[in-house]
């Protein structure tokens, strides 16, 4: 009699698959939080309460703590004993130091491109991306614009073929995005589309000395638009910034304090 095969996994196989699922979930949450910080949806200094994040994402505190630890290692989040996690709030001195580091690294990127033996076919893709960046800026799609503006710099690093350089620059670009969110002047356009095109033109013409100077000028200009003599502390609705869907809150019932003070209203919004 022929045997019948089933797709039932053994307990051991099911148990071994669980850590992989946990890792995937942690990576997904890390990316969502990182993107929200990078795109300025969660301002620097914002508290990230574990209980709120658990409710928003429907996961355990253990998962959230692992995600926050990873973001802290990337200097996107600060962890304080007995206080919890906060979106990193870099100082003015740290901001100046990181922008200086970025100028060194991106000057090196341009020099590497000058030494690389490639046919520059990647340039057409980056030009299209800059066009998308311009359109996102025109239509006011701030999150997409910020993401594409940063990707321009990372794509140049990727074109060098140096994976380590690209990886380290990715972290520095994320740091400077955080700094722009904290210190940017209202109405400023921190990363110029026109300057990106000028850099690409110089690279395509193989005038790498000019491209390097244009890159340095570009980054200096980005830093100069920051208000490094001011310190602000914006507030944010964490669930809204993370794209959580909120159920309709129950009707608010006014309650008058016994001491005849001002009336307060309380309501709880359930997040999922």
Spatial contact of 105 and 168, defined as CB atoms under 8 Å apart = yes
Can you give the pTM of this predicted structure? Answer: 0.70
Closest residue by Cα to residue 222 from 180, 270, 263: 180
Would the CA dihedral through 103, 153, 185, 192 be positive or negative?
positive
pLDDT, tens digit only, all 272 positions of the chain: 554 454 555 555 444 545 565 788 899 999 999 989 988 899 999 999 999 999 999 999 999 999 999 999 989 999 999 999 999 999 999 999 999 999 999 999 999 999 876 667 899 999 999 999 999 999 989 889 999 999 999 999 999 999 999 999 999 999 999 999 889 876 666 678 999 999 999 999 999 999 999 999 999 999 999 998 755 555 667 777 777 544 434 444 444 444 444 433 333 332 23
Q: How far apart are CA 164 and CA 170, in angstroms?
A: 10
146 in helix, strand or coil? helix
Q: How far apart are CA 197 and CA 63, in angstroms?
A: 42
- Maximum CA pair distance of the chain? 85
């Amino acid at each position: 009699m022929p045997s019948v095969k089933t797709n039932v996994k053994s307990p051991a196989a099911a148990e071994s698959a669980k850590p992989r699922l946990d890792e995937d979930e942690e990576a997904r949450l890390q990316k969502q939080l990182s993107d929200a910080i990078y795109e300025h949806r969660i301002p620097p200094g914002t508290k990230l309460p574990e209980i709120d994040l658990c409710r928003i994402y429907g996961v355990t505190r253990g998962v959230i703590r692992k995600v926050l630890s990873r973001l802290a290692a990337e200097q996107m989040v600060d962890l304080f004993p007995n206080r919890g996690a906060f979106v990193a709030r870099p100082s003015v001195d740290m901001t100046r130091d990181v922008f200086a580091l970025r100028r060194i690294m991106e000057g090196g990127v341009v020099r590497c491109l000058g030494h690389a033996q490639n046919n520059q076919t990647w340039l057409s893709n980056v030009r299209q991306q800059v066009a998308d960046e311009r359109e996102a800026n025109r239509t006011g799609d701030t999150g997409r614009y910020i993401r594409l503006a940063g990707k321009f710099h990372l794509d140049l690093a990727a074109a060098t073929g140096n994976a380590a350089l690209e990886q380290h620059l990715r972290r520095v670009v994320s740091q400077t995005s955080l700094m722009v969110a904290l210190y940017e002047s209202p109405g400023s356009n921190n990363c110029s589309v026109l300057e990106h095109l000028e850099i690409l033109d110089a690279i395509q013409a193989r005038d790498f000395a000019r491209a390097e100077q244009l890159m340095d000028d570009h980054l200096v200009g980005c830093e100069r638009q920051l208000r490094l003599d001011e310190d602000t502390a914006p507030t944010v609705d964490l669930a809204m910034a993370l794209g959580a869907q909120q159920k309709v809150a129950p009707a608010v019932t006014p309650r008058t304090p016994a001491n005849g003070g001002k009336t307060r209203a309380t309501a709880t919004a359930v997040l999922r």
